Amino acid sequence: MYGPLLGEGSLADMTRKTGIKNLDIIPSEVDLAGSEIEVARSDRYLHRLSDAIKPILDSDHYDHILLDCPPSLGILTMNALAAAQRVIIPTQCEYYALEGLAVICRLVDQIRSGDANPSLEIAGILMTMYDGRTNLSEEVVKEVRGHFGEKVFQTVIPRNVRLGEAPSFGKPAVIYDSASTGAKAYKAFSDEFIKRTKPPEPQQTQPTVPVPQPPAEPAAEPLAPETTPTA
């Protein structure tokens, strides 16, 4: 992505097929680590990714495009927020993560109010690395739900060894071990996300059928007044 961010080349040319049906990927590269400085010096530095991804959006080839951001609030993350329609905020079930959650929420507000992306909205907060054996995880989830309410996804991603092993085998967790609790949790999350973001179907109105009316009875003829003969 280094070249397209600087206006050189096309993101569509970097798209690669995967072993999963209907899933393509644009892999990262080492040069991307040095793009922060170059992008910051360029014109429209907050919209470099928006400009690069626009031809793919205009092609209407994909139902969803996921932008995987680094765990920092640098220029690349700012570009992703300026290009996205919605943002999913993964949050570890730890107290330090709550501080980061507050920071990213403020950043989203700044992106919206600063006209970089006025339509940006938070799709939801995904609680991750949940450990049901500890009170800490339960307390953090309770606190986040109490503050953000329905913005928090019902699905919670647990701590799972299989999730940590999958990247070392070059496979997503749902392929590496689809029966693991972590894989099942991510499947449940994807279903919840699609359901939450799916536009409501237009309500179908029943066609009105005219009801035949009985013919009107003919009006009674007026009677001539009776006259009494005079002698």
- The predicted-structure confidence for 65-118, as pLDDT tens digits, reads as follows 999 888 888 888 898 999 999 999 999 999 888 888 989 999 999 998 888 899
Least trusted range by pLDDT, from 31-35, 150-154, 204-208, 215-219 = 215-219
* 198: DSSP letter: S
| Calpha distance 97→62 (Å, rounded) | 32
Backbone angles phi, psi at 37, to 5 degrees: -70, -45
Is 193 within a domain?
A: no
pLDDT of residue 6: 80
Backbone angles phi, psi at 156, to 5 degrees: -120, 130
Is 68 within a domain?
A: yes
Is 47 within a domain?
A: yes
Is 209 within a domain?
A: no
**How many structural domains compose the chain?**
1
Average pLDDT score, the chain: 84
Is 142 within a domain?
A: no
Quote the domain boundaries for residue 76.
1-84
Is 94 within a domain?
A: no
**Number of other CB atoms surrounding residue 28 within 10 Å:** 12
Q: Which residue has the higher pLDDT, 199 or 110?
A: 110
State how far the alpha carbon of 2 is from the alpha carbons of 51, 77, 167, 214, in Å: 13, 14, 23, 77
Q: Coil, strand, or helix at residue 112?
A: helix
**Number of other CB atoms surrounding residue 189 within 10 Å:** 19
Residue 79's closest CA among 116, 27, 119?
116
Is 144 within a domain?
A: no
Q: Is the pTM of this model over 0.85?
A: no
Is 14 within a domain?
A: yes
Write the CB contacts of 28 (distance below 8 Å, at least 6 apart in sequence): 1
pLDDT of residue 123: 92
